[in-house]
Amino acid sequence: MVSVQSTFVFATAQYQSGDWDSAPLVPANIIDTIAQYTSIPVAPTGVIVPLGSERLLEFPFVFLTGHLPVRFTDEERRMLRRFVERGGFLFVDDHNHDIDGAFHKTAVEEIERTVGPLRPLPNDHALYRAFFVFEDGPPTTSHELNGWGDNLVHEHLLAVTSGGRISVLYSNKDYSSEWNFHPRTKRMLSVDPTRFAVNVIVHALTR
């Protein structure tokens, strides 16, 4: 029996291959951001949901990251397919920031095999105006600007869309590293890099 969540719960996907827990501070940081900027009822701590479990269907938004090669099990593929068919929003971030890296190659292959083709998301998409306005599309990360990973500043995010709705949002920008700090650190920053997470989550919950 699937229960209905009235409070937004930040869910991190746990998959059997790779290192799903490579960015353990991201959930708390994003929860803090959601609480700061929005009035969305939000649970104070995130949950870890196995990608191959029925529990996946309890959450409208699921975050997935990692460095290592990704190979979904048959059950994980089946549940992910059900998840997006039921309107779920999966946000995948390449923690390597490397389009030639193991995570990117394998995760893209798995997503395209399981859900559908990933296409560049236009930078004037509603996602970039869902809460804060990002005129130039996805905000760059310090890892891109510092030349880590593939030494590229990625112009677009990728997405699997169905009927105009984003079902899988894929990033090579390494938001996992950019957001992987304790929420209290935010007060030291002149610009909060986690604001883009508000757009992603608000878009996921309202479209």
Partner 1 sequence: MSAPAVGHVAAQPVRSDAPLAQLERTRRALVGVTVVRGLLLGIAAGAGTWTLLRVARVLWLRMGGSEWPASDGAAIGVAVILALVVLAVVLARILPRLTTARVALWVEEQVPGLDYALVTAADPRAGAAERLAPRLGRVPWQELVRTASRRRLLGPAVAAIAALGVAFLLPASERAVHAARASDATTSPSIAQPTRPTSGPLAEIRAVVVPPAYSGLPRQTLDDPTTVAALVGSTVSLSGRAPDSGAVRAAFGDRSLDVLRADARWTTTLRMPAAAGLVRLSAPGGERLILLEPRPDSAPVVTLATSVVDTVLREPSGIIALEAEARDDLGLASSRWEWIVTSGDGELFQARTGTLGEALHGGRRAATLSARLDLTALAVKAGDVVHVRATATDRNDVTGPGVGASETRTIRIARPGEYDSLTFEGIAPPPTDSALLSQRMLLLRAERLVARMARIERQELVDSSRSLAADQATLRRRVGRLVYQKLGEDEDAEHAHFPGDGHDHGAEGRIDPDDILARADAATGGGPVVLDFEGDETPVVAINRPLLEAYNHMWDAGRALEIADPRSAIPSMRRALEAIQRAREAERYYLRGQPPRVVVDVAAARLTGKAEGRGSARTPLDPADPAARERARRLDAAAVLARRDPGAAADSLIVLRLEAAADPELAATLDAAARQLREGAPADDELARARRLVLPGGLRRGALDAWRGW
For the record, the structure tokens of 58 come out as 């309890």
Q: Does 183 interact with partner 1 (rule: CB under 8 A)?
A: yes
Interacting residue with partner 1 among 76, 93, 94, 98 (CB under 8 A): 98
Taking the complex as a whole, the smallest distance from the CB of residue 60 to partner 1 amounts, in Å, to: 18
Q: Does 56 interact with partner 1 (rule: CB under 8 A)?
A: no
Taking the complex as a whole, the smallest distance from the CB of residue 36 to partner 1 amounts, in Å, to: 5
Our CB check for partner 1 shows the closer of 62 and 198 to be 198
The alpha carbon of residue 142 and the mean position of all alpha carbons in its chain are separated, in whole angstroms, by 18
User: In whole angstroms, what is the distance from residue 184 CA to residue 159 CA?
Assistant: 31
Q: Token match 């940081």: residue?
A: 29
User: In whole angstroms, what is the distance from residue 68 CA to residue 59 CA?
Assistant: 25
User: In whole angstroms, what is the distance from residue 177 CA to residue 25 CA?
Assistant: 9
Taking the complex as a whole, the smallest distance from the CB of residue 79 to partner 1 amounts, in Å, to: 18
Residues paired with residue 61 on neighbouring β-strands, in sequence order: 89
Q: Does 162 interact with partner 1 (rule: CB under 8 A)?
A: no
Taking the complex as a whole, the smallest distance from the CB of residue 155 to partner 1 amounts, in Å, to: 18
Q: Does 148 interact with partner 1 (rule: CB under 8 A)?
A: yes
